[in-house]
Structure formats: structure tokens, C-alpha cells
Amino acid sequence: MKTILPFLLFSLFLSLSAKRSTYIVHLDKSFMPKIFATHQNWHSSIIDTIKIAAPTTQNCHHPVPKLLYSYDNVLHGFSAVLSKDEFEALKKSPGFLSAYKDRPVEAHTTHTPEFLKLNPASGLWPASGFGEDVIIGVLDSGVWPESASFRDDGLSAIPKKWKGICKPGTDFNSSLCNRKLIGANYFNKGLLASDPSIVLSMNSARDMRGHGTHVASIAAGSPVKGVSYFGYAPGTARGIAPRARIAVYKFSFEEGTVMSDLIAAMDQAVADGVDILSISYGYGFGPLYEDSIAIASFGAMMKGVLVSASAGNNGPEMGTLSNGFPWIVTVASGSTERSFSGTITLGNGLKITGFSLFPVRTTIKDFDLVYNGSLSSCDSSDDLAQVPNKARSITICYSIAQEDLSVSDQMGAISEAKFGGALYVYGDPDVLTSNYFTNPGAVISSKDWKKVVAYAKTSAKPKVSISFQETHFAVKPAPVVSAFSSRGPSLSYLRVAKPDIMAPGELILAAWPSNTSAAVIGVNTFLDSDYRLLSGTSMAAPHISGIAAMLKGVHPDWSPSAIRSAMMTTANPLDNTEKPIKTMDYLRTSMLHLYPWEPDLLIQTVQLIQA
């Protein structure tokens, strides 16, 4: 025992000291010895020196330090897998500035060009040639190159300034790029280093999540006629800069997303010659000097590349902003005047318009309208299953006073019970920005809820009919700042007001991979669509990327700061009622008095909003 215990302690010490992490390292390039031909040679030499300086962890059971990426365009330094001892040795290297551990990052149209007052006959669109020859680098989850939004019909040759590649990989070959999608690359060394057991399902620039395809087509998708989302938002889908070129840099995989891969993508994009970088990812709060996106975007700006980045989806609370650095365009999300609905017709002839995105061409005709006080929360599929004639019944679900019960939860219970459908009472503003609608029904206001309940209580055999796939263009006020859109100040830099600008980010129609489900009905029936409606500041940022690309096309000599200034100083601060733009959470609070609430419900709702 006396012999074994010291051995166990020594083994534990070796295990702890050899535990490895990925670090992002910043170096002062002026310290690079002249004997090195490239910065990669210098970085490799530093790693080789560490192997000698920290030999205690180098044996057959512990791997040696590993260089992942060398950065030289948006910042100077590298990312590497190191043990704690090796990291301490690294800090003694000549030119060392700072280092910190790699970290995960998260992801945060047929009508929006018109809503933004882009005119094909005059103004910025024709003046810029619709963005032709400007290159937008989209850093995201990849691309679905077969989408019609990436056709290159009518485009001229690829700009000579382009230095990038179309990198082949799993289910992706270089012939899939063209004069629109001029480049595709992917970066995953950091992700693989974070967990060597990971096996990538798609080791290429092909998009398996849809997010990157959606974002790229918003920024610069080619015009595609006759598209819709299961009948909603029909028309011609086009990007904001429909003749701009797209270069895709995939750093986000289904298996994970880390900062070191994002910085490698940014570094390569700047080297390749992009004009604009569009980033719909962020990582939250951290000191400015340890935020790689902040540092890399500053480097990109110094090279003349504008960075447009999403503000995050953690609103409406204050201080929830991502990407709040002074030198980039931080983009908030807002609504448009477009809405999607179904028409509810009660047995007494009363018609009510409610929000709906039920993705099936059908009409609910003379279903039983069920109102049962004990079932109105719609939180138990077992209870709902006991209702007679449930398959041809529409129930009324009410949850505004329950913080832990969402409309999506209620939809799940309705689907599991195989109920005919439901009318859901509007309480959470985010409900009106979601494309999740698994069963027939609509979301109605509390004012209309009272009318429906009164009819259900007084009619001997209450009936209801619902029609779907309706698109309207008369919402007022619009735009309104999305409730989910993150608010400033930026906790990493309190001295600058952020976000900078707002763009459409609610239920934006854009391209979608054909092998990734776009909707679900019932419990597990998945539907495909080449175009999908999505909401988020992720959708807002590429709108600004497209506008910036067109400004760059008109004024190629303008700096990123000049372009950002031009957009901010000419943006319209008024909504379509000619009043200052409001926030959705403000409207929700201020309009409570318009609805005939019962006193106890009003008190509960105010408490919920304040919470």
C-alpha cells in the first residue's frame, strides 16, 4: 500500500498536467525571426520548442502539442492543442501577447427587398448593378449548391481579384461552384481537436442544417420565380444583392461549432479577397481582449473588409447583445408589414383572422368547437385523448398566465392526442415569429378568445371552420423591433451604443436544403421544401450584408466605416405609421388596456411581463 499510493498520486498528477485544451494564441509578428520564410514556419517552430521546454507530458501515453491553424490576415497567431504545462511554456515564447481557451459559438426572401424600398428601376439596386462583382463571404453551416438561388444565369466571369477555392469533400465536388457560388471551403480542425471521438457526418462545405443556405440566399441569392413556403409568402425569391458573388466558409457542423474554426474561416476569407463578411453567430459576453470575433473583425476592417454580424436572440432583456464591437455592423431584427394567417369561421358566422403557418393545403370544415375549462391549458395529451370525436374537434387552448407552458408545448400535446386541432391564445410575442405549427389551428388574440369562448358556451352544438395559407401585407405598425432581438449595451464594450441598425428578421423566406425537413405535422410526419420561413437576427444580418455589398459596388473606394456610416445615417427611424419605431415588448405592454381581460388574467399577465 505504501508503494501503490505514491504511484497513484503520481499518475493522477501526470493525468491532470497532461489534460489538453485548444488555445487561441496571439503573437506580435514583429518578433518573427528573419530565418523563417512564412509565419506558418515560425508557428511550427514555437510548437517544436514547447515539446522540448515541457517534456514531462511527452511519452507514449500522452500526445505531443499540435498546431491546428496559423492565422495572419484577421489576427496574427495560431490555435493549438496544449497541456497546462505546455501552455505555461508557450507564454515564455518571444512575441507572445495573449492566449485563451477555444470556446463554442452559437447561431443566433420574397418580400423584404420591396419592404426595404429597393427599386429595380432607380436607386441603389441599378446603380450598383445589383451588387455584381462584389464578393460576400458567408461564414456559417455551409451551402446547398443545387438550390436555384445559387444559379449563375446571366452573370459575367468570376472577378479576377478572387483567390479562393471550391474545396471538394463528402458529397461535394468543385464542379458545384459556378459564377454565383464562386467558392466553398470548410474548417473543422478545432472541433475535431475538442473531441477526438467525433465522426463528422458531412466533412465538406455541404449544408446539412439549412442555416447557412438560408443566410447566403438572403444576402445574394439569384431571383427564383414561383416559390413559397407551403403556399405562404408566394412570389419571386431574391437576395438583397442578387448579382453579388457568394463565397461560403463552413465552420459550423452538426457535431459542434468552435471559435478556432470560425477565426480560421475569417482569416481565409480575407486572404481570398472577399469584400463583405456576413456572420450570423456569436458567443455572448467576454472581455473584449479575449473575444476572437472582435479581434478578427478588427483585423478584417483594417484590410478593408466590412463585417456584418447578428446581435443575438436573447432579448428583450438589456445587456444581452453579442458582437457589440465598435468596428462592425451589429444588426438587430425587426418585423415587416407581411403576416401569415388562417381565417376562423364560427358556426354563428363570425369570422376571425388568426396567425397560422399550418403547412398543409386543407380546410377544416364544421369541426366541433370544444371549450372545457379543465382542459383549456392543453398540457396533457392523455386528458385530451378522452374527448369524444376528438379527431374532428378543435379545442381552445389558453396559457398566457403560465410561464412554463408554451404554445409549442400545447401543439405537442394536441398532436400526441391525435386531436383535430386547436385555437391558441396569443400571449408570447415570439409565437408570431415561429414556423412551428404541427396541427390545424391558429393563434388568436385575447380579445377574439373571449368571443370564441362566449360562442362555445352559449351554442348547443358549436362548430368551427378554418382556412389556411393566407398572406397579407397591411400590418401596422411595421417595422417593430423583434421581442427576441438582443438589446444593448454590449457588456464587452459599454461605451458604444449597439446594435447599429435593424433589418427584417421575422419569418424570412429563403433557400433551404432539399434533404432537410422544413416542417413537421403531427408527431413525426416531416415535410420538405426548397424554401423555408425562419426568424432570428441570423436572418437580419445578411440583409445588411447585401446592402453593404451594393454600396461597395457603387463606391469601391469606401472604407468599412464609411459604408457603415452611410447605412446608419440614412436608415429610416420611422415605421409605416410615420411614428418612431417601437419594440414588440413595448407594444405588448402598452396595448393590454385595449383588450377586455378579466381582472385576474390581467394581473397574471402583467406579472408575467414584468418577470
Nearest to 230 by CA among 513, 540, 516, 470: 470
- Give the whole-number percent of the chain exceeding pLDDT 90: 71
Please identify which of the residues 128, 260, 399, 538 carries the catalytic annotation: 538
Q: Which residues pair with 561 in a beta bridge?
A: none
Q: What is the pLDDT of residue 102?
A: 94
Q: Which residues contact 13 (CB under 8 A, 6 or more apart)?
A: none
Q: Which range, of 209-213, 240-244, 489-493, averages the lowest pLDDT?
A: 489-493
Sorting pLDDT into bands at 50, 70 and 90, what band is 19? confident
What confidence tier does 597 reach under pLDDT thresholds 50, 70, 90? very low
Whether 211 is a known active-site residue: answer: yes
pLDDT digits (tens, 9 = 90+) for 171-206: 999 999 999 999 999 999 999 999 999 999 999 999
Q: Which of 211, 280, 292, 368 is catalytic?
A: 211
In total, the chain counts a number of residues equal to: 611
306, 564 Cβ separation under 8 angstroms: yes
Cell numbers at 431, concatenated: 409565437
Cis peptide before 120, with omega less than 30 degrees from 0?
no
Q: Identify the band that residue 12 occupies on the pLDDT scale cut at 50, 70 and 90.
A: very low
Query: What backbone torsions phi and psi does residue 487 show, to the nearest 5 degrees?
Result: -105, 155
Closest C-alpha among 139, 358, 388, 145 to residue 232: 358
Catalytic residue among 85, 133, 140, 368: 140
Strands 66-71 and 96-101: unpaired
pLDDT score for 257: 95
Residue 109 pLDDT > 80: no
**Nearest alpha-carbon partner for 540 in 289, 380, 322, 234:** 322
pTM over 0.75: yes
Write out pLDDT tens, residues 387-444.
899 999 999 998 654 556 788 889 999 999 999 999 998 777 778 899 999 999 999 9
Please say if the pLDDT value at position 5 is more than 60: no
Q: What is the pLDDT of residue 126?
A: 67
**pLDDT for 7:** 41
The per-residue pLDDT of the chain, averaged, comes to 87
Statement: residue 97 has pLDDT above 90: yes
- Give which of 185, 164, 207, 147 is closest to 531, Cα–Cα: 147
